[in-house]
Amino acid sequence: MIVEENQETLMHFHWNKMEDIINRGGGNLVIELYNSTPDEDFADSPVTFKTDGIERVVRPGGSVVLTPGESICLEQGVYHRFYGEPGKRRVLVGEVSTVNDDTADNRFHETVGRFPSTWKTGIRW
């Protein structure tokens, strides 16, 4: 994936998919994290995760910044959104994951349509 500065994936988690997100080069990738509750809301508990195999913890809603060459492992049920850090250039992002059913395994925190009706350029689909 190419992620531009401030280009954001919406806050979501996966019920089944587990994924590693890798900053393959360019700028920095910012990832915000929350645990999920049984009713699929944001938990107020600290989030434990691994970057490059090292266990780390952030507060709920905390950010992790991946610089080129770094990766994060995202487990099932961990809400995440990511974007290119402003002022640091676009980011080349790789993903290694278990199989994902894109229509049935994504839980977005906010209800969104499958495809946007308008791009920032004003082009309508």
Instruction: Show pLDDT as tens, one digit a residue, over the chain (125 residues).
Output: 999 999 999 999 999 999 999 999 999 999 999 999 999 999 999 999 999 999 999 999 999 999 999 999 999 999 999 999 999 999 999 999 998 887 888 888 987 765 555 555 544 43
Residue 24: which of 84, 85, 70 has the closest Cα?
Answer: 70
Domains in the chain and their CATH numbers?
2-108 (2.60.120.10)
User: pTM for the full model?
Assistant: 0.86
**Which single residue is written with the structure tokens 């209800």?**
111
Question: What tokens appear for 99 in the block?
Answer: 């199989």
